[in-house]
Amino acid sequence: MKIYIIILRGINVSGKNKLPMQDLRDVLNELNFENVQTYIQSGNIILNSVEGKDVVSQKIKEAIKDKFDYEVPVLVKTMEEWKTAIENNPYKEAAPKQQYFTFLSEIPKVKEINIANINMKEDDFSIIEDVVYVNAVGGYGKTKLNTNFFEKKLGVTATTRNLKTTMKLLALAKK
């Protein structure tokens, strides 16, 4: 039985794709996942399954489509992958409120992003494997280095979590 941390993209944002977490937990329990937990309203899930990541992702994606009629990107990580993402964070010394993790659906084929025409101010980013680490000095709401930016530049699906949420999901998965 593996522990998975699952993050959904675009759930309960600005009144769109409303998905009550209790309803989501009910759907996931019906799929025979075990120890299903959700954290806050933005599509963060911890569960146990004997199935592989691709199967878990597909089942969740199909269940959300069937039950709620939403097409939602579903990123599934093992607890070990989640720990590695946290360990690899090159901005550990930055203020916690500046640190963001943009999780990618796969390792991007694009290795460098042309940022010549982008006013990043003091913000910075680093791509390591399938995570973009963002140091958003002025806050995530003001940075140009957001999820949409990285999806366009890297050609992969992505979703972002702040340091606090990333750490909380690991703590919940360890319980």
pLDDT lower than 50: segments of the chain: none
Specify the pLDDT at position 41.
84
Specify the pLDDT at position 14.
60
Strand-pairing partners, residue 99, are 135
Specify the pLDDT at position 88.
97
Rounded to two decimals, what is the model's pTM?
Answer: 0.92
Strand-pairing partners, residue 122, are none
- Reported as a single tens digit per residue, the pLDDT across 56-90 is 999 999 999 999 998 999 999 999 999 999 999 99
CA distance 17 to 173: 25
β pairing state of 44-49 and 34-39: antiparallel
Specify the pLDDT at position 116.
65
Give the up-direction half-sphere exposure of residue 69: CA atoms within 13 A in the CB hemisphere: 1
CA distance 80 to 73: 21
Specify the pLDDT at position 149.
92
Specify the pLDDT at position 12.
64
CATH 3.30.70.1280 residue spans of the chain: 2-78
Q: How is domain 2-78 classified at the CATH fold level?
A: Alpha-Beta Plaits (3.30.70)
| Chain center to CA of 136 | 17
